[in-house]
Chain A
Amino acid sequence: MAPIADEQLLAAHRSGQSGALDQLLTRYQDRVFQFVIWRTGATWTEAQDLAQDVFLQVCHSSDSFGGHSRFRTWLYAVAGHVCSRWLRDASRRRDRTRAGSVQAGSVVLPDVPDESPGALDVIQRRERDTAIRAAIETLASKQRIALLLRDWEGLSYDEMAAVLEIPTGTVKSRVHSARLALAPMLAPILGREADA
């Protein structure tokens, strides 16, 4: 059975149907959390507050969603505005501490029991993901955001332009330059896989 469309879930939430908002949160919380970290460079705690603000803003403004765009396009437009406002406020708080911040993308690897089936595969997979993520983290913030919206969310260039409030040509350029910068860093990782 096809999953319920985001737009239907939002309508269900507006009509008071319980569980609809939970499903939207489950779908988007990780990627929105990643978005706000990459967009703002916020600490873990700050990013949590920001992501919460994004979803609260979505709920409070849900009546203004007219269905002229996809829900996810609107969601990231809201997220972008929340982040921009936070960055403006942050510029006035230059003395804030970054103690305890967690670098975006850092992954804490849990202990993997040696005796579990496929443990080696799990470890190799995690090592590979960590290496790819480390490569991604070297990209400029704008490039990472472009890839997030394009390759994780599947937004078109026009939708991305609307979210980021930049020309479509700039979107095209960012996506391309991001992949071009990523490619040589990934070559050793992907080359090992090819040799294996």
Chain B
Amino acid sequence: MNCNWNAEELSALLDGELTSQRSHEVTAHLTGCAECRQTLAQLQAAQGAFRSVSPTSAPSDLARRVLAAVPSPVRRNRSGRRWAVGTALAAVLALAVWGVFEPPTGPEFVWPGDGSSEGRIAVTRFLVRTATPMLSDRVQLDPATTPALLISIPCFEPSPIVPGQL
């Protein structure tokens, strides 16, 4: 190796960015080249000097301003959950109402039983009872008000719904 090589490799050597083989080659060259050793020493001094100084201090109230402007992740998550629960409840209620007032017809859909209102009620009740525990796993539904909400749907009878077992 002569000195007509890429001198950038000296900085790369300092930074540990050379491959093991290349690092050995450069080091071997340095052993016999005083000029490159001097350059390496200058680069090392520059590196050390830069590391020894501190950056300009940020304004003292920067952190306070950031913290004041950042919404709490907890509040943000709760807000998102409320939105999701509201949407899901609305979907469940829509299904329930649809089951009572808009029974699907056609050969591809067969209501359980004899297709009477009891069958539709059974399907709607199944949908609501399946969806509600899924919701209650994610949020704390109020057992005092949720059954009242559900039994307000015409297809529901109050007796099968037990507060606290949703």
Query: Which residue numbers of A lie inside 8 Å of B, CB to CB?
Result: 13-16, 21-22, 25-26, 29-34, 37, 44, 48, 51-52, 55-56, 59, 104-105, 107, 129, 132-133, 135-136, 147-148, 150-152, 156-157, 172-173, 175-176, 178-180, 182-184, 186-187, 189-190
Contact yes or no, B62 A48, CB < 8 A: yes
Contact yes or no, B67 A22, CB < 8 A: yes
Interface residues of B toward A: which range? 20 to 34
Given contacts A30-B55, A32-B58, contact A16 B43 (CB under 8 A): no
Given contacts A29-B63, A183-B45, contact A104 B56 (CB under 8 A): yes
Q: What residues of A have a CB within 8 angstroms of the CB of B59 in the complex?
A: 33, 44, 48
Determine how close the nearest CB of chain B comes to the CB of A139; give it in whole angstroms.
10
B53 sits at the interface (CB 8 A): yes
In the bound complex, what is the Cα–Cα distance between A15 and B76 (angstroms)?
A: 10
Out of B11, B15, B53, B58, name the residue touching A51 (CB < 8 Å): B58
Given contacts A157-B17, A172-B11, A176-B8, contact A52 B46 (CB under 8 A): no
Contact yes or no, B17 A183, CB < 8 A: no
In the bound complex, what is the Cα–Cα distance between A183 and B50 (angstroms)?
A: 10
Contact with A along B61-100 (1 / 0, CB 8 A): 0110111011011100100000000000000000000000
Q: What residues of B have a CB within 8 angstroms of the CB of A21 in the complex?
A: 66-67, 70
Contact yes or no, B73 A14, CB < 8 A: yes
Determine how close the nearest CB of chain B comes to the CB of A37; give it in whole angstroms.
7
Contact yes or no, B62 A133, CB < 8 A: no
In the bound complex, what is the Cα–Cα distance between A106 and B112 (angstroms)?
A: 82
Q: What residues of B have a CB within 8 angstroms of the CB of A175 in the complex?
A: 8, 11, 15
